[in-house]
Amino acid sequence: MGYWAAGGHGWGAVKDSESIAAIRHAFERGVTFFDTADTYGFGKSERILRQALGKNSKSVMVASKGGVRWDESGKVWNDSSPEYLRRAVEASMRRLEIEQIPLCYIHKPDNKTPISDMLGALLKLREEGKIGEIGVSNFTGSQLAEALTVAPVRAVQVQFNILQRAYGEKLAALCSPYNIKLVAWGALADGLLTGKFNRWSTFSKDDHRSHLPDFQGARFVENLRKVEALQKIASECQVTLAQLALRWVMDKYGWTCSLFGAKTAAQVEENLGATGWHLSEEEISAIDKLS
């Protein structure tokens, strides 16, 4: 379960009480991996996750990220320097109220700090017991290859879904030989793959989708055309489009983990309908042809 939305920033109106209820419902239904970041809501997502999980946080895999800074005005910028990564990890530990972050990602490389220094910082934090496994997010293929010469990267987070797949497929090819888990963010394409939008849909200014090319003009219309075709396949499989999209990520490669976002317990329940079944090779081929 990915928890950008719980930060209340970039997804329109979000109620804390519903976020907490959604996380608790996910835990009760067997979700054991919760993904957040310090910059989601500028620390709020981590605090909400701590409040929702309470003592149960010790029995699940909590992943967080560091490397994106912010100031009081809400301005953000990338900083993956060793000094800031240490500050970020220690601040996340306090907000999450845990003695170790089980999986810690470099959120985004700042294109200034050498890869060796970034990964070296996480290795040091791991030696101190402050983090468990090391992950990277939003890395290019060459950056990942270099990172692997420095540290044992265990997870790579990348945007990967039916409609946006080329970049993720390139990284997937690098992950397989090293037994690295590919963690797909945006598996529902920012909601496009839920089937709830049409060409007249609009988004408020505080919703990040109002700025995305995939939700504008001819590109939005073309995406909706593909969604309509995918909806037919979902109906034939007797599942929702969102369930089909999440299942595709998990079935496409055996080393992928599909993140889902949810604002409510009802959305959690629908997304969990992606488990317990598999797409056939023919169905995967049909989906690939459409996308």
pLDDT of residue 205: 79
pLDDT of residue 246: 97
Mean per-residue pLDDT for 174-191?
A: 92
**Distance separating alpha carbons of residues 165 and 185, to the nearest angstrom:** 11
**Distance separating alpha carbons of residues 202 and 269, to the nearest angstrom:** 26
Amino acid at 189: A
Q: Could you please report the per-residue DSSP string of 32-57? A: -EEE--TTTTTTHHHHHHHHHHGGGG
Looking at the chain, the whole-number percentage of residues with pLDDT higher than 90 is 81
For residues 125 and 131, is the Cβ–Cβ distance under 8 A? Answer: yes
Q: Report residue 173 as tokens.
A: 């090819």
pLDDT of residue 6: 62
The better pLDDT of the pair 4, 152 is held by: 152
**pLDDT (tens digit, 9 = 90+) per residue, 225-237?**
999 999 999 999 9
Catalytic residue among 40, 84, 178, 253: 40
Nearest to 45 by CA among 95, 79, 11: 95
4-18, 180-194, 239-253: least confidently modelled range: 4-18
Hey, is 60 helix, strand or coil? coil
Tell me, yes or no, if the pTM score tops 0.85: yes
User: With left for phi above 0 and alpha for psi between -120 and 50, is residue 129 left, alpha or beta?
Assistant: left
**pLDDT (tens digit, 9 = 90+) per residue, 233-255?**
999 999 999 999 999 999 999 88
- To the query of whether residue 105 is one of the catalytic residues in this protein, the response is no
6-20, 67-81, 179-193, 269-283: least confidently modelled range: 6-20
Q: Could you tell me the domains of the chain? A: 5-194+241-279 (3.20.20.100)
For residues 42 and 112, is the Cβ–Cβ distance under 8 A? Answer: no
b/e 210-237 (16+ beta carbons within 10 angstroms → b): eeeeebeeeebeebbebbeebeebbeeb
CA distances in angstroms from 79 to 19, 34, 66, 111, listed in the order given: 29, 24, 9, 9
Count of other CB atoms within 10 angstroms of residue 163: 19
Is a pLDDT exceeding 70 seen at residue 5? no
Q: Report residue 263 as tokens.
A: 């604002």
